[in-house]
Chain A
Amino acid sequence: MSVGKVSLFTFETYKHKRFMKKLFTLLCFGCILFMSSSTVYGQDADEIINNYIETIGGADQLEKMKSVKMTGKASSFGMEFPITIINQAPGKMKMTLVFQGKELTQMAFDGETAWTTNMMTMEPEKMEAEQTEIFKQTMDFPDPLLNYKDKGYTVSLEGEKEIEGTPCHKIKLSRGTVKVDGKDENLETFYYFDKESLVPIMQEDYALIGEMKGKSTETYFSDYDEVDGLIFPFTMVQKIDGQVMMEGTMEVININPEIETNAFAFPEK
C-alpha cells in the first residue's frame, strides 16, 4: 500500500493520510487476529496442552471441525465495523470487513496465495512471496496445538508468568523456520495458559517481517463460550506495546458451515 505517496500536504490529504494510516494499521495487525485462536498447556508442556485440548472440547471434536465461520464486530482506533472470518482446514482463511456498506476482503489465503484489498483502488492484490510463505507455514486450522507432534512442532514449558494479574503457564510452540530476507527465522508463538481455567488468556507472536520485525503482538482471549461442544474465545484483543490495535467480539460462530468452493481464491481480474 502506498500510504506515503500523498504529495501535497493539505488538510484534506492530512485527513486522508490519517484515515489511510488507520486502515493500513488494520491490514498489518488484523491479520493475526482470529487466525490462530489456538492454545496449548502444560505442567509439563504436553500435559498442559492435552488439558487445554480436552477443556475446549477434545481432540475428536476438534478434528471433526473442518471449517468455521465467525461473524461479529471489530474495532480499531475508535472505528467499529462488522467482520466475518472463515477458516477451513488445513489452513485456508478469509477475513472480510464492511466499510460504508462495502464488503472488503482484508485478508485471504487459499493455501497457495495470500491476498488483500488495496484500500486506494479497492482491488485485490497478492501479498509478497515471503509473507505468503509465512502464511503457508503458520495457517493451521483448527489449532496448531492439536496433534502438534504429528505436525513436527515442538513445545516447551517456559515457566510461569502473571498475565494481567492471573498466574499462567508460559508455553513456547516452535514451528520450524521460515525464510525472511533470505535468512531462516524461527516460527515461535508463546501461549499463556491460565493455571486455573486451563485455557490461554494471551498469546504472543513476534513480527517476522517489515518494520515491526522483532516486536511482539499480544492477543488476549476472553468470553470463552461453547458452540456445539467446542469452546471458543468470543472476544480477542490485540495489543502492541500495550496499545490496543484491534478488538473483536464474535456474535455468531458456525461450525462446518457451507462454504463456496472458491471462497478463498484470489479473484482473477
Chain B
Amino acid sequence: MLLTYTKNLAMLLCMLSTSSIFFTSELIAQNTLKGDALFGAMRARHVGPALMSGRVTDMESHPSDSNIIYIGTAGGGVWKSTDGGVTYNSIFDDYCQSIGVVSIDPSDPDNTVWVGTGEIWTRNSVSYGDGLYKTDNGGKSWTKIGFENSDRIASIQINPNNSNEVYVGVLGALWGDSEDRGIYKTTDGGETWDKILYINETTGCSDLTIDPNEPSTVYAAMWEFRRTAYSFNSGGANSALYKSTDGGATWRKIHKGYPSGDLGRIAVAVAPSQTNTLYSVIEAENKEDKGLYRSDDGGETWVQKSNDFELTVRPFYFSRLVVDPKNPEKVVKAGLLASISEDGGETFRTIGSGVHPDIHDFSFDPHNSDRMYLASDGGTYRSWDGGTVWEMVKGLPLSQFYHVTVDNDVPFNVYGGLQDNGSWIGPSASHAGIEAGDWKSVGMGDGFRVYPNPKDNNIVYSEMQGADMIWRVNLEKNQSRTIQPFADEGEKLRFNWNTPITTSTNNADRLYVGSQFLHVSNDRGDSWQKISGDLTTNDPAKQQQAESGGLSADNSGAENHCTIFTIAESPINEQVIWIGTDDGNVQLSKNGGKDWTNLRKNIQGLPDNTWVYHIEASSHDVNTAYAVFDGHTQNDYAVYVYKTTDGGASWTSISTEDLHGVARSIQEDFVNPDLLYLGTELGLFVTIDGGQNWSKFNNNMPAVAVHHVTLHPRDHALVMGTHGRGVIIIDDVRPLRELTQDVLTKDVHFFDLGQHVMKEQGGFAGSSVYGGFGGTATYGEFVGANPSSAAEIVYFLKKRHTFGKMKLELFDTNGNLVTELPAGKQKGINKVQWNMLLKRPKVAVAKTLSYGGFSSPRVSPGTYNIKLTKGKQVYESTIELVYDPESIHSVADRDYGHEVAMQLYHMNEDLAYVIDQVDKIHEKATPLSTHSNATIKESAEQLLKNIDSYKENKVITTGDNYVGAAEPQLREKLADLFSEVAGQIGKPSGAQLKNLKLMSTDLQKAKDELKSIVNQKDTFNELLSDEGVELIQLRSKQEFLDAEK
C-alpha cells in the first residue's frame, strides 16, 4: 500500500530515522549484540519429565475459592492452579526459582500474593533466594519488594484485617553469617520495613505465625543453624520460640513445658478455628524430649504429645505443621512419610503408601477438610478422603537434574539423574510428544550422572548417591550389575554425594570414576585401576561427617568432602586429563594419570577451596580448557568462570557483570570456539565473543538453575539439565555460530543451514514428524514438546520490522510462487517455519465441508528461492529440500506418489470448476424462473431442474458435517482419495490406483454431462438475447481459481 504522507506519518518517519541513527551508532560503539535480540526467535523446548515431578516446598490454598492453589517449589518457581489442583501453570518464570514461601493476602486473595524466595528445607543441594516479591493481579506480573540478601524467607504473615501490615520471617544465609536474619514488619504494604526481632548472625527465623483473630499476637520460631560443604549443624543456645502481643514491639520466650538445654529447629502453628490452641514441633538435646508439643493457652504452657519417628525425623528437612482450618484436633506434620493426628496430637497415623516420600507441606480445601493437598520431593498430590488415599498431579515438570548426557540415536536420547528420583533416559522426540511412558528408569535413590557407552548405547552407566552403587545396565536385556570400585586394604574411599563418572571420546569402553583418587576402567567397569594419588586437599577437619547434624545426627553421605567432583579427558589427546575437586584443586595429567600437576596456584582472584564444579576440555585445542567454580558453600555467590589456553599455566577470568548466579557448567561450541554456553544458578548465559559479553537466554527459558549443559554434535541441540524444570533443549544453535561482526552490521542476513531433510516418520505428510499415533497422556498430564519438523528459513534482522509491509515468498526454480509465509519481524534471529506443503486444492462448493479437501501434498524435493520483501527492499536466498534417506520408499516410488497426488489435486480443481459453472448458471437462472415471459420462465425452470439433477451425484446437497452427513458423492470420494494419496509417502496402493481409475471415469462423465448443461445454457442465452435480457456468462477456470469464492 502506498503511504500517504500525512502529518502523522511524517512524525513517525522522523522518529524512526532518528532512532535508527542512534541504533547504528550504538551498534558500532558496542560492536556486539546483547540480550534477547541476540537469540531472536530461538526458543527453549521443555522436555520434562514430570512422571516423578520434583520437590515442592510450600503450598497455599485460597481462603475461600477452592479452585485456587499456589505452590512454591525447590527449583521450579511458583505454580498456580485455578481448577482445584488438577492442572497448574507456572507464573514466576522470570525470577529466582527457589521458593521458600507463598502467602495469599486474606483480604484480597484473588489478587495479592507474596512470594519469599530461597528454599527453607536446608538440604545439601538446596539453592538460594534473592528476596521478596508481590503480585497485585494473581500472578500475572510481579514486583520485587526487596530483601535481596535474605537468602531464604521462611514465612510471610499478612494481617487479615489490614493488607498493609505484613510480617516477614527471614531464615537467612545457610552457608555463612548474616545480619539480614530476623523478623521484619511493614505497615505500608512493603514500602518500608522495620526489623522487629533479631537474635544474632547465626540464628534466623524458621517459622512465624500470627493469631488470625488477634493479628497483633505473633509467634516466632528462631533457629541456630549452619551448613558447610562438609558438615551441618542444627541447634544451639539461641534457638527459641518467641511471642509478641503488641505487633512485634516486644517479645518474650514462651518455653514453659519445653525441655531445658539447647533447641534446634522449631515449627509452630495456630489452630485457625480455635486460636488459643497451638502446636509446635521441636528438636531438643535429648531424644525423648523431641517431637510435638501442644498449648491451649496461646503458647503460655506446652505439653509434649508425641515423639514418634515422623514427629522427630530430620528436623532441618521436615519442620512444618498444618492444622485443619475447621478442626483444631486435626494436625498434619511433614516428614519422611508424614503423619496425621485426629485427636489433637495424641496419636498419629502415617500418610501411607502411594505418596513419594519426603513430604514438606500440606493445605486443606477451605470448605471441605477432606480435600487435602500435599507437597513432597515427588511433586504434589491430592486426597479426597481426608488424607488416606492420594493421587499424584502429573502435570508438574519440576524434575531436578544434576547432569545430562546425550547419545547418537535418531532422535537422540537424554540421560540424567535426579534429586531423590533416580536415573533416567528419555527421547528428545516421540510420537505424540514426549510422554511419561517414554522415559526409562536406569537407577535408584538419588540419581546423578548417567552415560551411554559412546559406541553402544545399549550399555548405560548410572549411579546413586556417594557411589554406593554404580550400575552398568544392559537396556535391551533389562539387566544390570554393579561396577563401582572398592577400597584397597587399609584405605577408605571418599566419594562425593554427586560422584563424578564419565566416559571417554577416545576409547568407548573406558570409564572414569573419582573418589579422592581417579579410577579408570578400560573394560566397561569390570576392573579398575587407580591412576592418581589423593588429588584433594585431604583436610582432616573436613572429614568428620559422623559428627554432622547437630542436635539430630545426620550422616547421609551428603556432606562427604575432599573428593574429586569433575573429570575431563581431552577429546584431542587421551593422555590429557583434567580433574577438579570439591575443595578447590584443579589438577592436570598430560600422561594418562602417571603424573599430576596442581594448577590451583595459577588461578588468580579465586578464594581458597572454592568448589571446582565443572571442567570442560576444549575440542579445538588440547591446551585449552574452561573451569567454573561454585563458591556458594562458602557463602560466596560470585560467578567464577576461567579459561586457560596454555595447558593450565595461566588462567583468565571470562566472567563479566552480565552474569548472575553461581556457575555450574560450561560448554564450548564444537564449531565456533568463541561461542560458549554457561549454566548458572539463575539460568543459561551465552557468549559469542569468547566471554567478553554474555547474554541471558530468556525465550521460554525460566531463571532456573542449569546444573549441566551439553551440546549434541550431530543435531546442534543444546541440552540442559536443570535443577527444577527438567530437561530443556534449544534445538538448533547453528545461527549463533554465524553471528560474526560482519553479519551484525547487515540489515538482513540469511543463515545457511544446509539441506533440509523432509522427514517421513509418523506417516502423515504435513503432520509433525512425530505426530502420528501413539499418544497416551490424558488431560492434565505433562507432555514434552517435540522439535519442529518444518523446514526453517532463518535470517537475521538488524532491527525489528514494525512499519510498512514485509512478506516472505517461496518460488520454485521456474519462478512459480509456491507459498507465502508469515515473515518473522523481530530484531535478531528470525525463524520462519515452512511445512513444505502446497496450497490446498480448490474443491467444489457443496452443502457441507469436504475433509479430504483440507489436505495438501508435499512439495517436491529441490531448491526453492526465498524472496523477502521489506518495504522496497528485496532480499533473496535459497533453501534446499531433500528426501529422507531413512525412508522405506524408493525415490521412484515417492516421485510416483507425488505425481498421482498432483493428478488428483488437479482432478479436484477440475470438478470444482465444473460445479462452479453449473452453480453460476443456477444462480443466474433462479431469478428468471419467475420471469413474466412464460418461455423464459419455463426454460429457466427446466434448466434449474436439470442442474439439480446433474449435481445430485456430484456433490453433497444435504446433511451436516457430523453424524447427519449425507452419502458421499463424487466430490467427497475424489477429495478423500486425494487426501489419502497426498497424506502418505511413496507409491499409492493398488486399491488406490484402481479407485483413481474409477474417479477419472466419473470425472470425465461429469465433464461430458456438463456439456449438455452448457449447451442448454447457450440455447437459453439465445432466448434471453432475443428478449433483451442479460445473458448468463461463465468465468474462466483461471478466474475461478484466483477468486476467493
**B8 engages A58 (CB within 8 Å):** yes
**B845 engages A100 (CB within 8 Å):** yes
CB-CB < 8 A to A121: which residues of B? 960-962, 964
**B961 engages A119 (CB within 8 Å):** yes
Given known pairs A100-B850, A197-B802, the reply for A222 and B825 (CB within 8 Å) is yes
Report the interface size class on chain B: 35 or more
Stretch at the interface among A86-94, A146-154, A230-238, A257-265: A230-238
User: Considering only CB atoms, which chain A residue lies closest to B139 in the complex?
Assistant: A214
The CA of A196 and the CA of B803, in the complex, are separated in Å by 12
The CA of A246 and the CA of B843, in the complex, are separated in Å by 23
**A198 engages B141 (CB within 8 Å):** no
CB-CB < 8 A to A19: which residues of B? 851, 854
The CA of A214 and the CA of B700, in the complex, are separated in Å by 17
**A78 engages B835 (CB within 8 Å):** yes
Distance (whole angstroms) from the CB of B732 to the closest CB of chain A: 15
**B827 engages A234 (CB within 8 Å):** no
Stretch at the interface among A41-49, A133-141, A164-172: A164-172
Given known pairs A100-B853, A226-B3, the reply for A162 and B802 (CB within 8 Å) is no
Given known pairs A188-B137, A214-B82, A229-B6, the reply for A98 and B35 (CB within 8 Å) is no
User: Considering only CB atoms, which chain A residue lies closest to B12 in the complex?
Assistant: A55
Q: Is B383 an interface residue (CB 8 A)?
A: no
CB-CB < 8 A to B853: which residues of A? 100
Stretch at the interface among B36-44, B433-441, B553-561: B36-44
Distance (whole angstroms) from the CB of A241 to the closest CB of chain B: 8
User: Considering only CB atoms, which chain A residue lies closest to B86 in the complex?
Assistant: A211
Given known pairs A55-B12, A75-B822, A122-B961, the reply for A226 and B4 (CB within 8 Å) is yes
CB-CB < 8 A to B89: which residues of A? 214-215
Given known pairs A164-B826, A172-B141, A226-B4, the reply for A234 and B805 (CB within 8 Å) is yes
CB-CB < 8 A to B964: which residues of A? 120-121
Binary contact track B816-859/A, C-beta < 8 Å → 1, others 0: 00000010011110000001010110111110111101101000
Contact among A164, A188, A198, A228 with B140 in the assembled complex (CB-CB below 8 Å): A188
**A98 engages B800 (CB within 8 Å):** no
Q: Is A186 an interface residue (CB 8 A)?
A: yes
Contact among A16, A222, A225, A241 with B851 in the assembled complex (CB-CB below 8 Å): A16
**A162 engages B835 (CB within 8 Å):** no
Contact among A15, A165, A199 with B36 in the assembled complex (CB-CB below 8 Å): A165
The CA of A226 and the CA of B39, in the complex, are separated in Å by 31
Given known pairs A197-B15, A229-B8, the reply for A100 and B849 (CB within 8 Å) is yes
**B803 engages A166 (CB within 8 Å):** no
**B82 engages A242 (CB within 8 Å):** no
Contact among A102, A196, A227, A234 with B845 in the assembled complex (CB-CB below 8 Å): A102
**A213 engages B9 (CB within 8 Å):** no
**B8 engages A235 (CB within 8 Å):** no
Q: Is B655 an interface residue (CB 8 A)?
A: no
Distance (whole angstroms) from the CB of A115 to the closest CB of chain B: 18
The CA of A55 and the CA of B3, in the complex, are separated in Å by 15
User: Considering only CB atoms, which chain A residue lies closest to B851 in the complex?
Assistant: A19
The CA of A260 and the CA of B245, in the complex, are separated in Å by 71
Binary contact track A166-191/B, C-beta < 8 Å → 1, others 0: 10001010000000000111101010
Binary contact track A244-268/B, C-beta < 8 Å → 1, others 0: 1001010000000000000000000
CB-CB < 8 A to A247: which residues of B? 822
The CA of A76 and the CA of B1037, in the complex, are separated in Å by 27
Q: Is A216 an interface residue (CB 8 A)?
A: yes
CB-CB < 8 A to A215: which residues of B? 89
CB-CB < 8 A to B41: which residues of A? 164
Given known pairs A122-B848, A166-B826, the reply for A158 and B141 (CB within 8 Å) is yes
The CA of A16 and the CA of B698, in the complex, are separated in Å by 38
Q: Is B16 an interface residue (CB 8 A)?
A: yes
CB-CB < 8 A to A119: which residues of B? 849, 961
Q: Is A103 an interface residue (CB 8 A)?
A: yes
Q: Is B540 an interface residue (CB 8 A)?
A: no
User: Considering only CB atoms, which chain B residue lies closest to A197 in the complex?
Assistant: B802
**B979 engages A15 (CB within 8 Å):** yes
The CA of A172 and the CA of B37, in the complex, are separated in Å by 24
CB-CB < 8 A to A183: which residues of B? 65, 110
Report the interface size class on chain A: 35 or more
The prevalent SS among residues of A at the interface is: strand
Q: Is B24 an interface residue (CB 8 A)?
A: no
- In A1-46, the 8 Å CB interface with B consists of 2, 5, 15-16, 19
The CA of A5 and the CA of B806, in the complex, are separated in Å by 42
The CA of A188 and the CA of B82, in the complex, are separated in Å by 17
**B960 engages A122 (CB within 8 Å):** yes
Interface centre among A120, A214, A230, A237 (most CB of B within 10 A): A214
Distance (whole angstroms) from the CB of A80 to the closest CB of chain B: 7
CB-CB < 8 A to B65: which residues of A? 183
**B805 engages A225 (CB within 8 Å):** yes
User: Considering only CB atoms, which chain A residue lies closest to B850 in the complex?
Assistant: A100
**A201 engages B11 (CB within 8 Å):** no
The CA of A198 and the CA of B110, in the complex, are separated in Å by 33
Given known pairs A206-B140, A242-B700, the reply for A196 and B16 (CB within 8 Å) is yes
CB-CB < 8 A to A190: which residues of B? 140-141
The CA of A230 and the CA of B851, in the complex, are separated in Å by 41
The CA of A58 and the CA of B700, in the complex, are separated in Å by 36
Distance (whole angstroms) from the CB of B856 to the closest CB of chain A: 8
User: Considering only CB atoms, which chain A residue lies closest to B82 in the complex?
Assistant: A214
The CA of A122 and the CA of B846, in the complex, are separated in Å by 12
CB-CB < 8 A to B803: which residues of A? 197, 223-225
The CA of A199 and the CA of B35, in the complex, are separated in Å by 21
Distance (whole angstroms) from the CB of A129 to the closest CB of chain B: 20
Given known pairs A183-B65, A196-B15, the reply for A82 and B111 (CB within 8 Å) is no
The CA of A215 and the CA of B90, in the complex, are separated in Å by 10
The CA of A79 and the CA of B804, in the complex, are separated in Å by 25
Distance (whole angstroms) from the CB of A205 to the closest CB of chain B: 10
**A225 engages B80 (CB within 8 Å):** no
Contact among A2, A165, A224, A231 with B35 in the assembled complex (CB-CB below 8 Å): A165
Distance (whole angstroms) from the CB of A134 to the closest CB of chain B: 16
CB-CB < 8 A to A227: which residues of B? 1
Contact among B11, B39, B83, B699 with A55 in the assembled complex (CB-CB below 8 Å): B11
Distance (whole angstroms) from the CB of B396 to the closest CB of chain A: 15
Distance (whole angstroms) from the CB of A159 to the closest CB of chain B: 8
Distance (whole angstroms) from the CB of A70 to the closest CB of chain B: 13
User: Considering only CB atoms, which chain A residue lies closest to B87 in the complex?
Assistant: A211
CB-CB < 8 A to B973: which residues of A? none
User: Considering only CB atoms, which chain B residue lies closest to A15 in the complex?
Assistant: B851
Q: Is B1044 an interface residue (CB 8 A)?
A: yes
**B854 engages A165 (CB within 8 Å):** no
CB-CB < 8 A to A98: which residues of B? 1044-1045
CB-CB < 8 A to A211: which residues of B? 83
Q: Is A194 an interface residue (CB 8 A)?
A: yes
Given known pairs A15-B979, A158-B141, A188-B140, the reply for A226 and B15 (CB within 8 Å) is no
**A242 engages B825 (CB within 8 Å):** no
CB-CB < 8 A to B36: which residues of A? 162, 164-165
The CA of A231 and the CA of B804, in the complex, are separated in Å by 10
- In B83-114, the 8 Å CB interface with A consists of 83, 89, 110-111
A-B contact list, 25 entries, CB within 8 Å: A57-B8, A78-B837, A78-B856, A98-B1045, A101-B842, A101-B844, A119-B961, A158-B141, A162-B698, A164-B41, A164-B827, A165-B827, A166-B800, A183-B65, A186-B137, A197-B12, A213-B82, A214-B89, A222-B801, A223-B803, A224-B802, A225-B803, A234-B805, A242-B700, A247-B822
> Could you list which residues of chain B lie within 8 angstroms of chain A, going by C-beta atoms?
1, 3-4, 6, 8-9, 11-12, 15-16, 19, 35-41, 43, 65, 80, 82-83, 89, 110-111, 137-138, 140-141, 698-700, 766, 800-807, 822, 825-828, 835, 837, 839-840, 842-846, 848-851, 853-854, 856, 960-962, 964, 979, 1044-1045
The 4 closest A-B pairs by CB, nearest first: A165-B37, A164-B826, A101-B845, A165-B827
Q: A162-B698, A183-B110, A215-B89 are in contact. List 10 more A-B contacts (CB 8 A).
A: A19-B851, A54-B11, A120-B964, A158-B141, A164-B800, A188-B140, A216-B140, A223-B806, A226-B6, A226-B8
